[in-house]
Structure 1
Amino acid sequence: MAEMVVDPGVPPEDASLLHDNPHLLSRMRRGWVPDPPPRRAGRLARVSVVIVGLLTILLMLMISGIVGTSTGALLLGVIGVPLIIMSLVGADIPEGDGVRTDRETYQRARCYEGQYVLPEELDEASQRLLARAQSAIRAVTYSSVNAEGLLDGVRNAVMLPAQEWEIARLLAKLSALRAKHRQTVSEGLTPEVAAVAEPLARALDSSEDAVVARVEALERYATNVAEAERAYRAHHQIEELRGRLGEYEELVAESGADSFAVPEITRLAQEADQLEQALRRSITSAHEAFRHLPGES
């Protein structure tokens, strides 16, 4: 199954945010917009509330005829203090972390519009091609020979994401244009328009063939890496067995089974040499396949 692809040029932190929220990106594609942040009263508004409260208290004192200090202080404490507290702490409206994350994701996604491709943007044929490319890339990336540095790990880390993005980007454009083309021709064409539409359809097919060639090149590289992987594992196992040869020789000597063990031990050494040569050949083949990937030289 094809997965979302982000342009390698997007900073890692932002790319991670996009990768973690594909459902929001899908909703954005369908027109979703997050709710605006709640309005917050500024300092000026808060001061205004306090002043209005105090003026109200004074007006009440004047109307009631209360001019005593004690009574005025009491009213100020009963009415004015709550107004001040409300003006200072009651203006901010809290919102959940999820709401803020959704809004942040939306803003980042808008900044990087055109720098990510969702599987739903691709038609079925394009999704299958992208899935093939991603499968080949995973096979190379997570292979033991790559982890052990037997391949060009640095170039793989740069080139493989670039290849994935280029394939996804081209497939997104191909899918969109192919959908429009099919919509147009489904309405029926006059002979004159059909004469124009036919070469355009061939152009779409030619573009798809070019992307298929990219995917197949990745798959050939992954196949060569898989052969190197098998040789590497076998070579590693043989080396482990060779490391215990002394114990085997001691055991067969004590048991009197020398006539049986000698040819087996000899063959073990030969197998190790052959596997080492096979590993070198397979690594060389993988490097050759790497150089034949589109954009490499």
Structure 2
Amino acid sequence: MDLVVDPRTPETQARFLRESTATLELMRHGWVPARTHPDHGAAAYLVLLFVPPGLLLMSDLTLLLPFVLFVTVVVLAFCAVPWSEGRMTDHARYERLRVLAGHYVLVDGLDADCARLWARTRAALAVARGSTALDAGGELALGHLEWQVARLLTRLSDLRAEHAQLVTPEIEEVARPLTSVLERSRAGVEARVACLERLAEAERTRAWLGRLSTAVPRYQELLDDALDYQGR
């Protein structure tokens, strides 16, 4: 399973998504965590139970009532805040991921054709991103292409599976326009993949030329030494 994040997503949210891959996989299979109640221990509840009444009994009711009300509100608010030793609860993580649903795509379970296109995409991206000449703008452009391909392949694979179930041989001719839409969509995705592959090939050529240029002086040194020996 590959997680692809929309490159327009703020970095803090993108990092949160990448750290939540396991939870996203569970959510994809229908997992919903139980809502848990915050557990702050018995101390807060004992304070709420005994301190306000004790203060009221020992002091003037009129003067102390505002303070008692304030303490009560603070303790109640403290008890209501989800907290678990600084860790985000499963339900809180789940809710936050639901809000970010449109900012990522899980690439998994593709049909054979889409899986091959995705494998080509990943291979091309690995080469292009390994370039020493890649700047921030180039990385952003690659991210946008990756995002587009991931989303399109996921949708194409899902819709083709649904199409195969709906379109029987008896209505195949009637559904031909819809089949054509799938074919044209597939061609559009492959055009993006081919663009990435051209970028990867350009990087391979650039790297090869770089290695060749560093070797040229050694060729020249060899030739000079050989001619110098012959001239003696």
Is TM > 0.5 for Structure 1 vs Structure 2?
A: yes
**Which position in structure 1 is the counterpart of 2:228?**
258
Instruction: Please state whether the residue corresponding to 1:161 is helix, strand or coil.
Output: helix
- Alpha carbons of structure 1 residues 3 and 236: separation in structure 2 relative to 1, 3 Å: farther
Aligned with 2:122 (options 127, 134, 144): 134
Q: Which amino acid aligns with 1:259?
A: Y
Give runs of aligned pairs for residues 42-53 of structure 1, distance below 5 A.
Answer: 46-50=46-50
CA distance in 1, matches of 2:120, 2:39: 50
| Cα drift, residue 231 of structure 1 | 0.5
Q: What do the CA deviations read for 1:194-248 (whole angstroms, capped 9, x no partner)?
A: 3332221121111111111110121122112201110012213435x48x96xx9
| Cα drift, residue 53 of structure 1 | 9.3
Aligned with 1:163 (options 145, 150, 154): 145
**Which position in structure 2 is the counterpart of 1:4?**
3
Which protein shows a greater Rg?
1
Matched, 1:194 2:172: yes
CA distance in 1, matches of 2:125, 2:131: 10
**Which position in structure 2 is the counterpart of 1:282?**
none
CA distance in 2, matches of 1:121, 1:16: 24
**Which position in structure 1 is the counterpart of 2:155?**
173
Give runs of aligned pairs for residues 107-126 of structure 1, distance below 5 A.
Answer: 107-120=95-108, 122-126=110-114
CA distance in 2, matches of 1:43, 1:196: 71
CA distance in 1, matches of 2:34, 2:178: 43
**Which position in structure 2 is the counterpart of 1:33?**
32
Give the conservation status (yes or no) of the 8 Å contact 1:126–1:175.
Answer: yes
Instruction: Please state whether the residue corresponding to 1:122 is helix, strand or coil.
Output: coil
- Alpha carbons of structure 1 residues 24 and 44: separation in structure 2 relative to 1, 3 Å: closer
**Which position in structure 1 is the counterpart of 2:188?**
210
Aligned with 1:143 (options 116, 124, 131): 131
| Cα drift, residue 44 of structure 1 | 9.1
Q: Which amino acid aligns with 2:204?
A: A
- Alpha carbons of structure 1 residues 257 and 232: separation in structure 2 relative to 1, 3 Å: closer
**Which position in structure 1 is the counterpart of 2:205?**
227
Instruction: Please state whether the residue corresponding to 1:118 is helix, strand or coil.
Output: strand
Give the conservation status (yes or no) of the 8 Å contact 1:3–1:131.
Answer: no
| Cα drift, residue 32 of structure 1 | 1.2
CA distance in 1, matches of 2:113, 2:200: 21
Q: Which amino acid aligns with 1:156?
A: G
Residue ranges of structure 2 left out of the alignment (5+ in a row): 55-74
Please report the RMSD computed on the Cα atoms of aligned residues, expressed in angstroms: 3.6
| Cα drift, residue 161 of structure 1 | 0.3
Residue ranges of structure 1 left out of the alignment (5+ in a row): 55-86, 148-152, 263-297
CA distance in 1, matches of 2:21, 2:181: 32
Q: Which amino acid aligns with 2:192?
A: R
| Cα drift, residue 119 of structure 1 | 2.0
| Cα drift, residue 135 of structure 1 | 1.5
Instruction: Please state whether the residue corresponding to 1:33 is helix, strand or coil.
Output: coil
How many percent identity over aligned positions? 31
CA distance in 2, matches of 1:156, 1:234: 25
Give the conservation status (yes or no) of the 8 Å contact 1:137–1:222.
Answer: yes
CA distance in 2, matches of 1:94, 1:109: 18
| TM, length-normalised to structure 2 | 0.72
| Cα drift, residue 174 of structure 1 | 1.0
CA distance in 2, matches of 1:44, 1:143: 57
